[in-house]
Structure 1
Amino acid sequence: MSIFDDFSRFLETRLDEFLKAHPHLELMALEEQLRGQEEDAIATLTTLKQRETELEAAVLETAQDIKRWHERIAKAEAANRLDLVKPAQEREATLLRQGNHLWGQMKSVKSRLAQTHALRQQIQSKRQELKTKMAAAAAQAAQPPPRDSSTTGWNRSPFPAKPLDPLEESFQRWETEAELEELKRQMGK
């Protein structure tokens, strides 16, 4: 395992060095990572919203059942049916515990929804900042490098460039052709 760990560390180090040498690629990798996190947050939000809807429906249904059993208890007591009162009260107590449990789950889901929504907003803001940095880096890369004024003169000829006059150009061409012909004759010997 240590060989794989060493190799893994070596690759991570090389990747870090490469990304530091190419900051635009590092920014692109960060943007991709943030995009993936935002997609995960969106999927989590969708799942949580579905669960919230399911829990709300279950809480409402349980509340209706509790109300129905509460009315049955009142009817059984009014009719002096003690054989039905005790089991109905037990059923109502079970439904109340179930309703409390569902209510707690719903509050938990709502809390997670709020946290996930806040996380998504943070991710979106980080992505926007990163896009701004990427645009600035791209604009900076598109600009020519600044010229160093201390070496500017070294790249210039001390003599101003003069346009060749047609006669000079003709003589230079004729002289070059003559030298080429001479070279061909010498090589042919």
Structure 2
Amino acid sequence: MGVFDDFSKFLEDRLDEYLAANPQLELMAMEEKLREQEEETLKLMTDLKMKERQLQDEILAIAQDIQVWHSRIEKAEAKGRLDLAEPAKEHEASLLRQGNQKWGQMEMLKERIQQTHELQQKIQQRRKEVQAEVTQAQTARTAAQAQTMNTGWNRIPTANTSSGSAAQLEKQFQRWEAEEELEELKRNLGK
């Protein structure tokens, strides 16, 4: 078990070093994680809204049952059927309690939907920030690569350096070489 732990620690250290050397990869991994969190949050939001609709339907059905039983109670009392009215009142009270429970569940669900919506907005904002950081890191990396490609042996000749500067440099060398030959001739004649 110790060897496995050591090997695991070794791999984690190498990964941390690699990510430190390549910060854009860490940012890309963070962006991917945020994208997954956003998808999960959207799925949760969809599930919560479905549960909310289901609770609303249940509350509506309970309210309709309460209306039916309320009218039955009134009929039974009007006809003097207390043997039916009393159990109907108990059933109506039970339906009211059930409706109140469902209403409380719906209120808690609405609060949870609001919290999930706020979380989703925070995740979206953070993801935009990370995307901007990724773009900035890629731009900096591209600029650094371009800089190394434009120095020393890696230098890519441009139109100005290859034609204009090279021609001018050629003229300077020809003039210098001609002056050197002239000096050499003068020295030889002076002997």
* TM-score between the two structures when normalised by the length of structure 2: 0.73
Shift of 1:90: 1.1
Alignment correspondent of 1:35 = 35
Alignment correspondent of 1:132 = 132
**Which consecutive aligned stretches of 4+ in structure 1 deviate over 2 angstroms post-superposition?**
1-14, 144-147, 160-165
Shift of 1:162: 3.6
Q: How many residues align?
A: 155
Q: CA offsets, 1:62-85, max 9 Å, x none?
A: 011112111111111111101101
Alignment correspondent of 2:100 = 100
Shift of 1:2: 4.7
Q: CA RMSD in A?
A: 2.5
Alignment correspondent of 1:26 = 26
Q: Which runs of structure 2 are paired with 1:41-52 in the superposition (5 Å)?
A: 41-52=41-52
The 2-side partners of 1:67 and 1:5 are apart by 67
Compare the two structures and name the one with the higher helix fraction. 2
Gaps of 5+ in 1: 153-159, 166-189
Shift of the 2–96 alpha-carbon distance from structure 1 to 2, 3 Å rule, reads: farther
**What one-letter code is carried by the residue in structure 2 that aligns with 1:136?**
Q
Whether 2:68 is the aligned partner of 1:68: answer yes
The 2-side partners of 1:86 and 1:117 are apart by 46
- Percent identity among equivalent residues? 50
Shift of the 14–71 alpha-carbon distance from structure 1 to 2, 3 Å rule, reads: same
Shift of the 3–94 alpha-carbon distance from structure 1 to 2, 3 Å rule, reads: farther
Shift of 1:56: 0.4
The 2-side partners of 1:141 and 1:78 are apart by 87
The 2-side partners of 1:93 and 1:42 are apart by 38
Gaps of 5+ in 2: 153-167, 175-191
Shift of the 31–102 alpha-carbon distance from structure 1 to 2, 3 Å rule, reads: same
Shift of the 3–109 alpha-carbon distance from structure 1 to 2, 3 Å rule, reads: farther
Q: CA offsets, 1:108-152, max 9 Å, x none?
A: 1111111111111111101110111111111111214779xxxx9
Give the 3-state SS of the residue equivalent to 2:80 in structure 1.
coil
Shift of the 63–4 alpha-carbon distance from structure 1 to 2, 3 Å rule, reads: farther
**What one-letter code is carried by the residue in structure 1 that aligns with 2:82?**
L
Shift of the 64–140 alpha-carbon distance from structure 1 to 2, 3 Å rule, reads: same
Shift of the 84–20 alpha-carbon distance from structure 1 to 2, 3 Å rule, reads: same
Alignment correspondent of 1:142 = 142
Shift of 1:95: 0.6
Shift of the 105–3 alpha-carbon distance from structure 1 to 2, 3 Å rule, reads: farther
